[in-house]
Amino acid sequence: MNIRNVMVAAAAALTLGQAANAADPKLTVFDWAGFDQKNLVADYVTKYGDQPTYAFFGDDDEAFQKVSSGFKVDIAHPCSQMIQKYRDAGLIVPWDTSKIPAFKDIAPRFLNSKVFVDNGTVWYIPTDYAYTATLYDPAKVPAEDAATLQVFVNPKYQGKVSLPDNSDDVWALALLATGVTDWTKVDDAQFKAAADWLRKAHKNVVSYWSDPSALNQLMQSGQVTVAWSWNDSATQLKADGMKVVFNRQPKEGASSWFCGWVHMKDAPGDDQRAYDFVNAFLSPAAARGLLDDFGYASTNQVGEATISHDELVQHDIDPVTGTLLAQTPLDQKLRDRMVEEFQKIKAGF
């Protein structure tokens, strides 16, 4: 089944505070819309005969608000910059990595933070990563225009731009566009410059996309010709026969991010199933599923080694040699300020 259609169906199933796609009732997984794919957790399905019950979210802040308001799930799939917030709120418990054999195979760079591993206590299992970069239709956007992030503020593309409805990604874009490559060190002047740039970009935005399926539809209709996008849309649009370019090396750079699993406190389901799910997600088979369906890569070095370099290049997930802003944990006060400012910008202020 085309993953774009799956994501449309999943997004339609989103309900505040309720689980969707009920299956194995002994494990409830809180995940991004569209991630309920059997080939991501094939070992789990083999063992238990079905997928777990899924509940979906559209962005990290929405997910955090739900669980902090009392929505009960067993495990959740936030991205790295959210983990300190989960810890500070007392929402998660540590993982017992003796029950996760592939933990040793996770590339060390994904665990290089006391937010994730604190004095031997593991709070986070990173599993998947990709990029946010410039996606464009080369029939309508010349390569020289897309060679710089200033394409997003170029008046030529007014009403033809889409940005993520996601604070982390839009700030990664704005900071890169204004010369900042490390978002853990942002002073007031840099914050203001990035906010001013985002306000200019906002004038060109026809729509803020909330999930890749929405962006895909905008691109296929011709309503949007240039977007700040994850790998998903590039992979799915190419699979649908659309000629698009995913430029991860504009003059100013692109952004990398990674996501993974947290173990919720007072989880209502079966703890062993939680570990079996994560183990399945870290398997070499899951690395293939992440690549084929999403254009993502696995943090498991053993799983990634089963995929050829040519396939990584085809999906725009091979290592980038240019500038990257890594979406790693940042000061929560700064992140909260980013979220608040982004809401003002979208509202026209």
Q: Are residues 299 and 158 in the same domain?
A: no
Candidates 69, 44, 50, 49; CA nearest to 261 is 44
Q: Are residues 216 and 336 in the same domain?
A: yes
pLDDT at 219: 97
3-class SS of residue 206: strand
Q: Are residues 237 and 88 in the same domain?
A: no
Q: Domain with 206 in it: what CATH number?
A: 3.40.190.10
Please say whether the beta carbons of 136 and 227 come within 8 A: yes
Virtual torsion, Cα 210, 292, 42, 2, nearest 10 deg: 60
pLDDT at 10: 40
pLDDT at 1: 31
Which residues lie closer than 8 Å to 98 by C-beta, 6 or more apart?
none
pLDDT at 210: 87
Domain interval for residue 268: 3-129+257-314
Q: Are residues 47 and 85 in the same domain?
A: yes
Number of folded domains in the chain? Answer: 2
For 255, phi then psi, to 5°, come to -125, 140
pLDDT at 20: 59
pLDDT at 22: 64
Q: Are residues 67 and 137 in the same domain?
A: no
Q: Are residues 337 and 211 in the same domain?
A: yes
Q: Are residues 186 and 53 in the same domain?
A: no
Q: Are residues 27 and 63 in the same domain?
A: yes
The residues pairing with 126 across neighbouring beta strands, listed in sequence order, are: 260
pLDDT at 262: 98
Q: Are residues 28 and 90 in the same domain?
A: yes
Q: Are residues 327 and 266 in the same domain?
A: no
Q: Are residues 232 and 162 in the same domain?
A: yes
Residues of the chain with pLDDT under 70: 1-22
pLDDT at 67: 97
Q: Are residues 334 and 265 in the same domain?
A: no
- The whole-model pTM stands at 0.90
Please say whether the beta carbons of 89 and 314 come within 8 A: no
